[in-house]
Homo-oligomer: A and B are copies of this chain.
């Protein structure tokens, strides 16, 4: 965490709009600004780990982070992929609990850290930010309920389609860039099964793959696959 930090300013942060910090006025932003610390993280570095106590929250300025839970036998279940503008790690802090998930960078990242005390006191004082957090929690709760439904009721093929659509949203114009194992751990299946299904979708012309990278070609058909 301590290596190589380059401070960006919240006021001029290009990611700020995406996040709820976008809802803050200049005052609120500069409050956060004065307390945060930016750092550069290489691929595969941990932001935090399941079972430890939170010391603050992370705001992603650039790069992507996987949020996952390790099940029995060390198998990871990816719950979410966070990207630029996302605030990460506030759940455990607000619950005054240990982290129930882990967070690791998927690529080189610029990430700002806001210490617990600063964040909590800003939240306490700033109703706008507070409501933003409450809404974010609520929104995520609904998303997860949907995710549960998908995982519980759909076939692996359908789930893969769902996940590809989610990832398309996250990676925007870029091709999806995840290891097959990570992808399998998101879909909740064996790596081999995932590979076979990817091949099918490629042959059907819905996606294209270049070694590790995946591009969604026909989102509409993917939606159809995800539902039936």
Contact = CB atoms under 8 A, between A and B. Distances in A.
A144 B72 CA distance: 17
* Tally of this chain's copies: 2
Given A94-B134, A96-B135, A141-B91, A152 B149 contact: no
A223 to B, nearest CB: 11
A135 B120 CA distance: 13
A100 B145 CA distance: 8
Contact of A71 (B130, B137, B139, B149): B149
What does DSSP make chain A's interface, helix, strand, loop or mixed?
helix
Nearest to A133: B134
Given A140-B141, A147-B148, 11 more contacts: A69-B149, A72-B228, A77-B149, A91-B142, A94-B137, A94-B138, A101-B142, A137-B137, A137-B138, A137-B141, A153-B188
